[in-house]
Amino acid sequence: MSFDPLAEAHRQWSSRWPEHADHMAAVTSVMRAQQLLLSRIEALLKPHGITFAAYEALRLLAFTREGRLPMGKMGERLMVHPASVTNVISRLEGRGLVTRSPSPHDRRVVLATITPEGRALVEDATATLHEAGFALSELSRPEARAVIDALQTLRASVGDAERATP
């Protein structure tokens, strides 16, 4: 790419509001990186017939001891609105990858449970993501670690997480 719109925006901001240019460019760069990474991840998952949101839901369920979680807990752990979890789980349920049932302990709580087909699919999809370095194979492990550290600092600065190493 010979023309970088982000560099041009930074140049324009620097000439008008130099004290704000770096912060504007930081936000814009993070947003653009998110778009690019999501596009790459979605392309890797497409042959498996799932979106990244579906992958995250299946992976979360597969990580649990019993393969199930309350839908509300899933929203908390995935950091998404409950309606988003309901939508993703409904699509996965329609494909036989997840089932939903009331909790035996509290009928108001709905449990999502991964099926054997869902478990097989998420393991295959995970292998694909591992092989592709989660779409970041161009980064070395130390470079990936630097990204984690920088974004952890950013997240802490906006109140999302304590400043700690994942």
Starting at the earlier edge strand, list the strands of the sheet with 110-114. Answer: 68-70, 110-114, 98-102
Tokens representing residue 29 in the block: 């760069």
- Gyration radius of the chain's alpha carbons: 20
Q: Characterize 125-156 residue by residue with b for buried, 16 or more Cβ atoms within 10 angstroms of its Cβ, and e for exposed.
A: bbeebeeeebbeeeeeeeeeeeeeeeebeeee
Asked whether 10 and 24 are in contact (CB, 8 A), the reply is yes
- The model's pLDDT over 35-47, given as tens digits with 9 standing for 90+, comes to 999 999 999 999 9
Q: Has residue 132 got a pLDDT over 70?
A: yes
Q: Has residue 159 got a pLDDT over 70?
A: yes
Q: Give the contacts of 147 (CB within 8 A, at least 6 positions apart).
A: 139
Q: Has residue 164 got a pLDDT over 70?
A: no
Residues linked to residue 111 through DSSP beta bridges, in sequence order:
70, 101
Q: Has residue 48 got a pLDDT over 90?
A: yes
User: pLDDT at position 160, please?
Assistant: 87
Q: Has residue 166 got a pLDDT over 80?
A: no
Q: ∠ CA(71), CA(72), CA(74), 5° rounding?
A: 65
User: pLDDT at position 161, please?
Assistant: 72
pLDDT-based confidence at residue 126 (cuts at 50, 70, 90): very high
Q: Name the phi and psi angles at 69, rounded to 5.
A: -150, 155
What's the pTM? 0.89
